[in-house]
Amino acid sequence: MDLSAITKHSALHAKPSGLLLQYGTAGFRMKAEHLDHIMFRMGLLAVLRSKQTKSTIGVMVTASHNPEEDNGVKLVDPLGEMLAPSWEEHATYLANAEEEDMQRVLIDISEKEAVDLQQDAFVVIGRDTRPSSEKFSQSVIDGVTVLGGQVHDYGLLTTPQLHYMVCCRNTSGQYGMATIEGYYQKLSRAFVELTKQASCSGDEYRSLKIDCANGIGALKLKEMEHYFSQGLSVQLFNDGTKGKLNHLCGADFVKSHQKPPQGMEIKFNERCCSFDGDADRIVYYYCDADGHFHLIDGDKIATLISSFLKELLLEIGENLNVGVVQTAYANGSSTRYLEEVMKVPVYCTKTGVKHLHHKAQEFDIGVYFEANGHGTALFSKAVEDKINQLTRELEDKKGKAAKILRNIIDLFNQVADRKVISTTDAERQAVTPPGLQEAINDLVKKYRLSRAFVRPSGTEDVIRVYAEADSQESADSLAHEVSLAVFDLAGGIGERPQPGF
């Protein structure tokens, strides 16, 4: 370690004094103007992690669904997974070190993790389309190079693409080629293969309207489009040429407002979907003949995928261990449908992909989705080959998906933002402040089919309130009552929460 070079370069990315940040649900996130030192320091940390694991490590510069003015950074571990929890602590420790302590903190982390400093290091970088992202990836590169690491900067990438590149590089190409073509080829082939036998109602070609949240998804879909030219025709909206990133559009907007994004008209029976700012979330939607909007969010996607897989397994008489993983935000009726009708075991984890992913790995087939549209199906290796063969034998499943969706009538819910709290039981129970959980329990008892919880956001400085009940009025009213309890018991400041927030 060239300690004097580190000190010199660190001063060029100086930490604003007194600023304390934490590696949150998915890395560091906040207003871009406070993040330059974090970027440099995450470059340093990525080198240490790379040396320790003797693998390529990824660094993604993005703040996902947050407003355009924010930014963020997260590290990607060797198999394309989220950074290990013990290293999240190192990330926070390094992020908060004062300038004069930088050398000591780096040595400390290296010693604690037995990092061989002579080992080579390789770091790959990707970034979203935010105005601040390009400069920030330069700061990451500065951090990597000052510690002697090598860099490959992929430039503009979606978050899933960066995860893919890291995994490819650490599995000697077995997972795929670590290039953008490799990614498009792998995904488009799988898509064409999967959909070959499935019939498609309505139009002759599969067509899809895609809201790209004015983000990176638009650029990458434009590149990818011709890879599945016969299989799918896409129409892109909010492609970043006019609007602001995530503003009145994108998966988060559509999910929380339960309406189409600005800039996209939906006609009866058209298939539509929305990404978020870094294209790692997706929600689908359509309008029925009466013009009513229907959202197929993460809960419903998980139900469709797991029902589909269960059926395949039944057809061939395979008894594999299938599980669905959700978070406390999953609509109660989707959980009941999965458990009672589909007979699939459902597990609840804390919010954040890393928690769901980890749990899903315990099954032969683990399907995980957050209600907001983050998720996937994980197959153990032996199962993967079997499923590939099975999908080739697929019969016409026309109409099945629609039937399943009709069976899950969402309970109504309401979400709002407020201040400070701690939780347990996959964030479903408040531990502090004292008395809050009891107050919530009493409120919930007043409504039918109801549920409510509060948790501190891992990406913004707010408390989120979730409430669910058998009518929109009850859900709104329960959410309001719970937020009043939060305000009173957790030392709310300013105006008391108003109904409807």
* Nearer CB in complex with Mg ion: 364/370: 370
Binding flag, residue 460, ligand 16G (CB under 6 A): yes
Shortest Å, Cβ 121 to ligand 16G: 24
Binding flag, residue 62, ligand 16G (CB under 6 A): no
- Find which of Mg ion, ligand 16G, none residue 211 binds, CB within 5 to 8 Å per kind: none
State the burial class of residue 323 (Cβ atoms within 10 Å of its Cβ: 0-12, 13-18, 19+): buried
Q: Nearest 5°: phi and psi at 95?
A: -60, -30
Binding flag, residue 351, ligand 16G (CB under 6 A): yes
Shortest Å, Cβ 361 to ligand 16G: 15
Active site residue 64: yes
Whether residue 281 is annotated as binding a ligand: the answer is: no
* Nearer CB in complex with ligand 16G: 391/459: 459
State the burial class of residue 396 (Cβ atoms within 10 Å of its Cβ: 0-12, 13-18, 19+): exposed
Distance CA 94, CA 40 (A): 11
Sheet holding 282-287, edge to edge: 233-237, 207-211, 272-275, 282-287, 293-296
Binding flag, residue 353, ligand 16G (CB under 6 A): yes
Whether residue 459 is annotated as binding a ligand: the answer is: yes
Binding flag, residue 296, ligand 16G (CB under 6 A): no
Judged by DSSP in three states, 429 sits in strand
Considering only residues 372 to 391 of the shown chain, the ones binding ligand 16G according to CB under 6 A are 372, 374
Which residues lie closer than 8 Å to 6 by C-beta, 6 or more apart? 44, 102, 103, 106, 146, 147
Site string for ligand 16G, 439-458 (x = CB under 6 A): ------------------xx
- Find which of Mg ion, ligand 16G, none residue 276 binds, CB within 5 to 8 Å per kind: Mg ion
* Nearer CB in complex with ligand 16G: 303/351: 351
Binding flag, residue 81, ligand 16G (CB under 6 A): no
Give the DSSP H/E element, type plus range, for residue 452: strand 451-456
- Find which of Mg ion, ligand 16G, none residue 370 binds, CB within 5 to 8 Å per kind: ligand 16G
Whether residue 371 is annotated as binding a ligand: the answer is: yes
Distance CA 28, CA 42 (A): 10
DSSP line for 308-373: HHHHHHHHTT----EEEEEETTS-HHHHHIIIIIS---EEEE-SSHHHHHHHHTTSSEEEEE-TTS
Shortest Å, Cβ 278 to Mg ion: 4
Distance CA 49, CA 86 (A): 11
Q: Which residues bind ligand 16G (CB under 6 A)?
A: 25-26, 64, 280, 351-353, 370, 372, 374, 457-460, 464
Q: Which residues are catalytic?
A: 64
